[in-house]
């Protein structure tokens, strides 16, 4: 894995961490390490799959995964994992808030990075 790919994954993981920390604090749920890990795990797994999947394809050099694919995997697969594997709720307001927050942060850091690279 390239440094750029690892950096992208870590920034996406930080976006999920911010969502989880803000959410657990606002809802007075378990804000300890275990609680944060349990709430964030489905989204980290899904985001990790989005970053690893292109590496499993045959062929030449692997570009970074598309930002929309990463966002989609993280939200959609994260919600599926949260519901079925982690037995947590996926109420519509949560889905909307998580989607908007992750879109703003995951696309936002990429926009800042692209602007800095162009400068």
Chain position carrying tokens 């999920």: 16
Q: Is the pLDDT of residue 64 over 90?
A: no
Q: Per-residue pLDDT tens for 32-55?
A: 889 899 999 999 999 999 999 888
Domain spans, the chain:
3-118
Q: Tell me the two tokens of residue 55.
A: 């590496």
Q: Per-residue pLDDT tens for 69-84?
A: 999 999 999 999 999 9
Q: How confident is the model at residue 1 (pLDDT cuts 50, 70, 90)?
A: low
User: Over the chain, what is the mean pLDDT?
Assistant: 92
Q: Which of 17-31, 42-56, 95-109 is least confident?
A: 17-31
DSSP assignments along the chain, one per residue? --HHHHHHHHHHHHHHHHHHHHHHHHTT---SHHHHHHHHHHHHHHHHHHHHGGGGS-SS--PPPPHHHHHHIIIIIHHHHHHHTS-----HHHHHHHHHHHHHHHHHHHHHHHHHHH-
Between 27 and 50, residue with greater pLDDT: 50
- Measured distance CA(41)–CA(54) in Å, rounded: 21
pLDDT at 96: 96
The CA–CA distances, whole Å, from 4 to 68, 81, 84 equal 17, 27, 32
pLDDT at 7: 93
């Amino acid at each position: 894995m390239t440094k750029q790919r690892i950096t992208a994954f870590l920034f996406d993981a930080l976006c999920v961490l911010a969502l989880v920390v803000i959410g657990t604090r606002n809802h007075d749920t378990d804000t300890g390490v275990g609680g944060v890990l349990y709430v964030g795990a489905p989204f980290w797994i899904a985001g990790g799959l989005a970053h690893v999947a292109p590496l499993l394809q045959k062929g030449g050099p692997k570009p970074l995964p598309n930002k929309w694919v990463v966002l989609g995997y993280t939200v959609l697969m994260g919600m599926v994992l949260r519901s079925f594997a982690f037995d947590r709720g996926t109420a519509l307001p949560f889905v909307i808030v998580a989607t908007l927050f992750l879109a703003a942060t995951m696309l936002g850091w990429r926009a800042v990075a692209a602007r800095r690279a162009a400068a």
